[in-house]
C-alpha cells in the first residue's frame, strides 16, 4: 500500500504545501526541476505572501536538510537570487495594477489604506505568520 505522504516535500508545512500545489509544485521532483528560487517566485507571483523561510525550506528540501541548517552564505545567495528574479520581472501589487489601469483610462483609482508599501521580502523570516516547518 502506498503512503499518501510519499510525495511530501521536506520542510514544508500544510499551508506552504497548499500554495505549492496551487502553482504546480506537487512533488520533490517538481521542486528539483524548478529549483528553490523559481518555485518560491511562482508562489509569490500567484499572490501569496511567503516569508523567506519558504525559500530556505525549499532549498533545504533539495539539499535533504532542515532549512535552518543551511549555511548563512547559501541563505544570502538565495535571497539575492530571489531579489534578482523579482527585479528582472517585478511583481505588481493590486494597487499598482489599479494605477496602471487608471492611467490607461480605466476606472478611477481610490486610495486603499490597507495596501502596505513593502518590498515583498520580510526582513525577519522568523517573524512571519507562515513559517515553513517540518511536520
d(CA 127, CA 41): 20
What residue ranges define each of the domains in the chain, with the CATH number in brackets?
Answer: 14-110+119-127 (1.10.150.20)
As a whole-number percent, the residues of the chain with pLDDT over 90 amount to 59
pTM, two decimal places: 0.68
The overall average pLDDT reported for the chain is 80
**pLDDT, tens only, 66-100:** 999 999 999 999 999 999 999 998 887 666 666 67
Task: Give me the pLDDT at residue 83, please.
Answer: 96
**pLDDT, tens only, 116-132:** 444 445 444 443 444 44
Residues 6+ apart with CB under 8 A from 48: 19
Amino acid at each position: 500500500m502506498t503512503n499518501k505522504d510519499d510525495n511530501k516535500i521536506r520542510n514544508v508545512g500544510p499551508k506552504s504545501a497548499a500554495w505549492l500545489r496551487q502553482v504546480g509544485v506537487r512533488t520533490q521532483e517538481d521542486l528539483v526541476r524548478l529549483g528553490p528560487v523559481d518555485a518560491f517566485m511562482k508562489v509569490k507571483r500567484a499572490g501569496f505572501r511567503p516569508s523567506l523561510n519558504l525559500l530556505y525550506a525549499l532549498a533545504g528540501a533539495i539539499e535533504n536538510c532542515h532549512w535552518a541548517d543551511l549555511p548563512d552564505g547559501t541563505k544570502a545567495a538565495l535571497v539575492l537570487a530571489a531579489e534578482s528574479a523579482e527585479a528582472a520581472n517585478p511583481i505588481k501589487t493590486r494597487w499598482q495594477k489599479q494605477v496602471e489601469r487608471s492611467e490607461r483610462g480605466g476606472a478611477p483609482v481610490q486610495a486603499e489604506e490597507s495596501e502596505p508599501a513593502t518590498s515583498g521580502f520580510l526582513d525577519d523570516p522568523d517573524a512571519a505568520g507562515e513559517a515553513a516547518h517540518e511536520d
